[in-house]
């Protein structure tokens, strides 16, 4: 195996030591507890899982404009010291792995000792992400033309991608069917009790062509959190630490708001995606290659963008993802790169990528309901097509 540069940081290297999740429900599912309470519940569970107390937590980081500001959380949980807080800007879960970078920098530098990365999302208490958002900047160039929702915005990219590279509907469907099969083993998965086969997928209604119902992620309510501290501290804690080998955020240049805006990203990257730069920097920082990765949690807002991500992160050639998934490579049972082992956004829940981070860490602790045998390295990605994008490589200790 290639050299892992994170090892040079030794005892100061950042690692994930605790995981916490609320229950996941469909959007509108929580009428008895506020989003803030769910955020704090997930944080409390993660701190308890880590074997720490709330007074150990001195940093909070989130993304996507999470409404639960650290000052509110500090008061609800009675945190005595908050030395570090940060936010990754950008729509949706595009920045979901960015806070891992922030938290790692904070604990490795000594600015903070234990940082919680969290995301709480109650679409029933704020707004549905699948409906028109009148506050979106740039609406002038999309709303008068009937472009309102993420499926409306992403569908033309996938249409172009399929046109350029001969990707078929069944290739998109394989992502949906594979994710659903993983969800069936996961009791937390909102769609876990609803089997999905290719025939049902192909017969499902069209949302915005070429996207069918099962190509689009769910809309959910829930919260999750992870605790990050230094390896020297983790050695005395109960859980097997999960190494943050590398994390990166950014985008290919010239994407602006990408598919969430006026669609004027570089023309040659329109049906390709904006993750190439982050992928290159991530693997360089880790001193690893895509072939080293054992399991991946690929941000699945839409099935077709999972295919593009597989190409952006170097698991197959540009345009090669259809063939890659058709050969069974992403399946948990026998695939070369099992992905979205919790069921992902399509079938577990859509908590803006944070639940993918949790599942990535679970794989590295050996605790997934679809555990990949001997998995030592997990790629987690955040977003694609609406900048920024972000990703992390997690490692088993």
Partner 1 sequence: MAYFSNDLPGPVPGLDDREFWEQCQQRRLMFQRCIDCGKVRHPPAPGCKACGSFESDCVEAGDDAELFSYTVVHHAAHEAVRGSVPYNIAIVRYPALDDVRIVSNVIDVASDDLRIGMPLSLVWEKAGNGLLVPRYSRAVGK
Q: Which residues bind partner 1 (CB under 8 A)?
A: 130-132, 134, 138-149, 151-152, 155-157, 159-160, 163, 205-211, 254, 256, 261-264, 267, 270-271
- Closer of 34 and 149 to partner 1 (Cβ): 149
- Closer of 94 and 257 to partner 1 (Cβ): 257
- Closer of 66 and 269 to partner 1 (Cβ): 269
Contact 249, 97 (CB under 8 A): yes
Shortest distance in whole angstroms from residue 271 CB to partner 1: 8
Shortest distance in whole angstroms from residue 176 CB to partner 1: 16
Contact 30, 24 (CB under 8 A): no
- Closer of 62 and 152 to partner 1 (Cβ): 152
Active-site position among 63, 201, 299, 313: 299
CA distances from 107 to 58, 87, 205 (A): 10, 16, 48
Contact 51, 70 (CB under 8 A): no
Active-site position among 24, 63, 201, 350: 350
Tokens representing residue 135 in the block: 């506050």
Gap between the Cα atoms of 16 and 394, Å rounded: 9
- Closer of 45 and 211 to partner 1 (Cβ): 211
Gap between the Cα atoms of 376 and 396, Å rounded: 5
- Closer of 159 and 200 to partner 1 (Cβ): 159
Pick the closest to residue 63 from 89, 102, 100 (CA basis): 89
What is the 3-state composition of the chain as percent helix, strand, coil, each rounded to the nearest 5? 40, 20, 45
What 8-state DSSP symbol labels residue 307? H
Shortest distance in whole angstroms from residue 11 CB to partner 1: 43
Query: Is 299 an annotated catalytic residue?
Result: yes
Contact 27, 219 (CB under 8 A): yes
Gap between the Cα atoms of 382 and 282, Å rounded: 13
Shortest distance in whole angstroms from residue 307 CB to partner 1: 16
Shortest distance in whole angstroms from residue 168 CB to partner 1: 16
Phi, psi of 366 (to 5 degrees): 75, 25
Name the burial class of residue 291, with classes exposed (0-12), middle (13-18) and buried (19+) by CB atoms within 10 angstroms of its CB: exposed
Q: List, as own/partner pairs, every contact residues 180-184 make where C-beta atoms lie below 8 angstroms and the sequence separation is at least 24, other chains included.
A: 180/214, 180/343, 180/346, 180/347, 181/331, 181/332, 182/332, 182/338, 182/340, 182/341, 182/342, 182/343, 182/344, 182/347, 182/370, 183/342, 183/343, 183/344, 183/347, 183/348, 184/343
Query: Is 350 an annotated catalytic residue?
Result: yes
Gap between the Cα atoms of 260 and 74, Å rounded: 33
Gap between the Cα atoms of 86 and 99, Å rounded: 7
Shortest distance in whole angstroms from residue 173 CB to partner 1: 17
Shortest distance in whole angstroms from residue 216 CB to partner 1: 9
Contact 152, 146 (CB under 8 A): yes
Shortest distance in whole angstroms from residue 374 CB to partner 1: 42
- Closer of 130 and 222 to partner 1 (Cβ): 130
- Closer of 42 and 142 to partner 1 (Cβ): 142
Q: Active-site residue numbers?
A: 299, 350
């Amino acid at each position: 195996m290639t050299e892992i540069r994170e090892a040079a940081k030794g005892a100061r290297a950042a690692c994930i030591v605790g995981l916490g999740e609320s229950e996941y429900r469909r959007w509108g599912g929580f009428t008895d507890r506020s989003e803030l309470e769910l955020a704090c519940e997930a944080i409390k569970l993660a701190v308890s899982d880590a074997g720490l107390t709330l007074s150990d937590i001195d940093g909070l980081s989130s993304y996507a404009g999470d409404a639960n500001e650290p000052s509110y959380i500090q008061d609800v949980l009675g945190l005595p010291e908050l030395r570090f807080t940060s936010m990754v800007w950008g729509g949706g879960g595009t920045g979901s792995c960015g806070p891992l970078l922030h938290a790692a920098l904070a604990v490795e530098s000594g600015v903070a000792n234990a940082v919680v990365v969290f995301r709480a999302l109650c679409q029933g208490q704020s707004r549905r992400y699948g409906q028109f958002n009148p506050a979106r900047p740039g609406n002038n160039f999309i709303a008068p033309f009937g472009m309102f929702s993420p499926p409306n915005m992403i569908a033309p990219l996938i249409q172009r991608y399929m046109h350029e590279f001969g990707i078929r509907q069944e290739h998109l469907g394989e992502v949906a069917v594979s994710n659903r099969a993983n969800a069936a083993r996961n009791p937390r998965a909102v769609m876990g009790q609803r089997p999905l086969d290719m025939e049902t997928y192909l017969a499902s209604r069209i949302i915005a062509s070429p996207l069918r119902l099962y190509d689009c992620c769910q809309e959910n309510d829930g919260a999750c959190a992870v605790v990050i501290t230094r390896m020297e501290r983790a050695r005395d804690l109960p859980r097997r630490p999960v190494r943050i080998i590398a994390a990166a955020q950014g985008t290919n240049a010239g994407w602006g708001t990408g598919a969430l805006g006026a669609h004027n990203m570089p023309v040659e990257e329109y049906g390709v995606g904006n993750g190439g730069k982050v992928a290159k920097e991530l693997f360089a920082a880790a001193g690893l290659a895509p072939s080293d990765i054992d399991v991946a949690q690929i941000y699945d807002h839409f099935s077709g963008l999972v295919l593009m991500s597989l190409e952006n992160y170097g698991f197959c050639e540009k345009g090669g993802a259809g063939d890659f998934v058709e050969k069974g490579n992403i399946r948990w049972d026998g695939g070369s790169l099992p992905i979205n082992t919790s069921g992902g956004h399509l079938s577990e829940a859509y908590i803006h990528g944070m639940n993918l981070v949790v599942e990535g860490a679970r794989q590295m602790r050996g605790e997934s309901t679809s555990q990949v045998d001997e998995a030592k390295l997990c790629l987690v990605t955040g977003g694609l097509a609406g900048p920024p994008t972000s990703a992390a490589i997690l490692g088993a200790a």
